[in-house]
Amino acid sequence: MKRSHSKYSAKDDLVWLILRPWIFIPRVLYILLTFIFLFLRILFQGNSKNKNVQKNLSKYLFDVITDLGPCFIKLGQALSTRPDLVRQDWLTELTNLQDNLPAFNHNIALKIIEEELGASANELFDEFPDSPIASASLGQVYKAKVNNNYLAVKVQRPNLYFLIRRDVVILRFLGTFLSPLLPLNIGVGIGEIIDEFGKALFDEIDYQKEAENALRFANLFKENPNIFIPNLERKFSSRRIITTSWIDGVKLRDRGLLEENNLIPSSFIKTCVISGLQQLFEFGYFHADPHPGNMFALKGGNADCGNLAYVDFGMMDTITNSDRLTLIKAIVHIINEEYYLLAEDFQKLGFLTKEQDLQKLVGPLKEVLGGSLGAEVGNFNLKNVTDKFSKLMYSYPFRVPSRFALIIRAVVSQEGLALRLDPEFKILKIAYPYIAKKLLTDNSEEILDILIEVVFDKKGQIQVEKVESLLNILFKDSKNINSDLIPVANAGLKLFVSKEGSEVRKNLLLSLIKDEKLEFTDAKKLLALFRDTFSPLNIAKSAVQNIISIV
């Protein structure tokens, strides 16, 4: 199979399948009947209190998804990360979709290795096991040994290109046909979202591309001591084989497993979420499949930030610079409860049409997102927002741009993973301070423009309450003060005296002039705010804590 043939094309692949009705028709009927039987069984047994009934039902659900093949397993993996969507007894079974699927024939795997690498496994490796250590949706992993070093050798499942090509076409066909009958309002049509899913899957089965992704991802995190990316072994890698250094870690499956290994769950949640935010808001390049089978907790680190290893870089995606900055603005507008500006952000991102009257959305957006920094922050998570937004999207002309399909999948999966480790986890408690710190310490021109929008209104006057809101978000947690106070103070001073800070200095001077007179009221409030936040006592305390943490 040539690499050039493994690209996704909705039109070409549909024609290919329609010209093969002996494949197309039986498969469509099989999928429909399978889901009808599954729906009926869940309808009649889903609310049963009998543990054996639920155990059998969860096993049936696992078997159905496994039997339907790689495309459906990928969808099931997304469900397996959501303890807030799926019953715990079902979730335990669905977790097996991540890396505990039935393995394919070992002899076939050996044949693929020989075809791809030009020699048998026994010739290539000092030790090669008789069975895989893990088996996932697209391949299975062997723990081999070369020169006293253990390696992870991932071998692709046979006939994968045909299976994915066939089922993505059918998923798109059924999704497009059935979407008018479903209580959904995603605007652009489910077909375009399935196209994004299809493109990602076709990229994922090209292990040469995955190798390139792994190298790029490792380079982005090379300065981060808490993130580890396994080394690529090019000699033992090809289009259907990828080999990396072996990871000795604990999978982020559940809290108890981490605690058994004397690891602190909350430390890995923070590393996981912060690294996810960096991928989205700094690098513009992110791991789109962050389920527990692809992330390992490592020894080392500390109680605040644990050491985390990522594996499996087949499903990656990028976000444009424009979208990245607009998302940062959107979060700032949520923080400041500026719902009209938030509606403008949604419009720019493509969630709303250009013709939409944004003023009509101010009230509904406030209803969905209002209070996220106040009393309701304790109940705030993506599931709550998603539930509210689903109603909002059905009533108003919101649409989900297809380019956001993998971003949403990655963010929702990551929050689900965090909820598995800590049911009380709230993503905003990490996301808001991260954005606040980025605005206050990143002196790049693009971020500086956003900061100026926050600090000064359209008339050039200081918005003291918004600066105070940013500082409160960053420093209201005493743990953050120790690590963030000095960096923020340093960044602020450097910005003010630097060439890049000329716009800030100019706006600050103009804000002192009101009705052609000097007015120092707002400036005094801002000075008092900075004096209280960056007092000598706080700075000294921060310095001492930083020294202690280093020692």
pLDDT tens string 463-513:
667 766 666 666 665 454 445 555 555 555 555 555 655 656 556 555 555
Residue 373 lies in a domain: yes
Place of tokens 């400036």: 523
Q: Who wins on pLDDT, 148 or 92?
A: 148
Q: What is the pLDDT of residues 68-116, one digit of tens each?
A: 998 888 888 776 665 555 676 777 777 777 767 888 999 999 999 999 9
Exposed/middle/buried for residue 520 (C-beta within 10 Å: 0-12, 13-18, 19+): exposed
Residues 389 and 527 in one domain: no
Q: Tell me what pLDDT residue 155 has.
A: 95
The pair of structure tokens assigned to 18 is 């329609």
The pair of structure tokens assigned to 296 is 């390992």
53, 72, 97 — which closes off a domain? 97
Residues 308 and 428 in one domain: yes
Give 47's pLDDT tier (boundaries 50, 70, 90).
confident
Please say whether the beta carbons of 457 and 463 come within 8 A: yes
Return the H-helix or E-strand segment holding 300: none
Q: What angle do CA 65, 66, 72 make, to 5 degrees?
A: 50
CA distance between the termini of the chain:
56
Q: Tell me what pLDDT residue 330 has.
A: 87
Residues 354 and 495 in one domain: no
Give 152's pLDDT tier (boundaries 50, 70, 90).
very high
Residue 275 lies in a domain: yes
Residues 20 and 82 in one domain: yes
For residue 31, the SS3 value is helix
Mean predicted confidence (pLDDT) in 24-35: 93
The pair of structure tokens assigned to 252 is 């982020």
Residues 489 and 378 in one domain: no
| Spatial distance between the Cα atoms of 58 and 39, rounded to a whole number of angstroms | 13
Residues 525 and 424 in one domain: no
Residues 471 and 399 in one domain: no
Residue 162 lies in a domain: no
Please say whether the beta carbons of 117 and 99 come within 8 A: no
Closest CA to 219 of 268, 279, 270, 272: 279
Residues 27 and 49 in one domain: yes
Domain assignment of residue 369, given as a range: 249-435
Give 50's pLDDT tier (boundaries 50, 70, 90).
confident
**CA distances from residue 150 to 137, 145, 244, 247, 446 in whole angstroms, order as listed:** 23, 4, 9, 9, 44
| Spatial distance between the Cα atoms of 293 and 303, rounded to a whole number of angstroms | 23
| Spatial distance between the Cα atoms of 393 and 373, rounded to a whole number of angstroms | 23
Residues 361 and 510 in one domain: no
Residues 386 and 321 in one domain: yes
The pair of structure tokens assigned to 48 is 């049963």
Q: Which of 195, 289, 312, 317 is catalytic?
A: 289
Long-range contacts of 21-24 (CB under 8 A, 24+ apart): 23/166, 24/170
CA 535 to chain centre: 37
The pair of structure tokens assigned to 356 is 């939409």
Residues above pLDDT 70, as percent of the chain: 72
Mean predicted confidence (pLDDT) in 382-404: 65
Residue type, 434: Y
Helix extents (H) in 207-254:
207-220
Mean predicted confidence (pLDDT) in 351-357: 83
Return the H-helix or E-strand segment holding 537: helix 536-550
**Is 371's pLDDT higher than 70?**
no
User: DSSP strand E in 264-351: where?
Assistant: 285-287, 295-298, 307-310, 316-318
Q: How many CA atoms lie within 13 A of 436 on its CB side?
A: 26
401, 435, 469 — which closes off a domain? 435
Kindly give, in sequence order, each residue whose CB lies less than 8 Å from that of residue 446, ignoring residues fewer than 6 positions away.
Answer: 321, 325
Please say whether the beta carbons of 502 and 495 come within 8 A: no
Residue 118 lies in a domain: no
Q: Tell me what pLDDT residue 431 has.
A: 77
Q: Tell me what pLDDT residue 21 has.
A: 93
Residue 205 lies in a domain: no
Radius of gyration (Cα) for the chain, nearest Å? 26
Q: Tell me what pLDDT residue 543 has.
A: 53
Residue 270 lies in a domain: yes
Residue 332 lies in a domain: yes
Q: Who wins on pLDDT, 194 or 105?
A: 105
Residues 344 and 413 in one domain: yes
435, 458, 485 — which closes off a domain? 435
| Spatial distance between the Cα atoms of 87 and 58, rounded to a whole number of angstroms | 9
**Is 524's pLDDT higher than 80?**
no
Residue 462 lies in a domain: yes
For residue 382, the SS3 value is helix
Q: Tell me what pLDDT residue 1 has.
A: 37
pTM as predicted: 0.79
Q: What is the pLDDT of residues 401-441, one digit of tens each?
A: 777 877 877 887 777 778 778 877 777 677 777 877 777 77
**Is 523's pLDDT higher than 80?**
no
**Is 548's pLDDT higher than 60?**
no
**Is 233's pLDDT higher than 90?**
yes
Asked about 289 being catalytic, the answer comes back as yes
Domain count, the chain: 3
Q: What is the pLDDT of residues 333-350, one digit of tens each?
A: 887 788 899 899 989 998
What pairing do the DSSP bridges indicate for beta strands 307-310 and 295-298? antiparallel
| Spatial distance between the Cα atoms of 78 and 290, rounded to a whole number of angstroms | 9
Residues 267 and 351 in one domain: yes
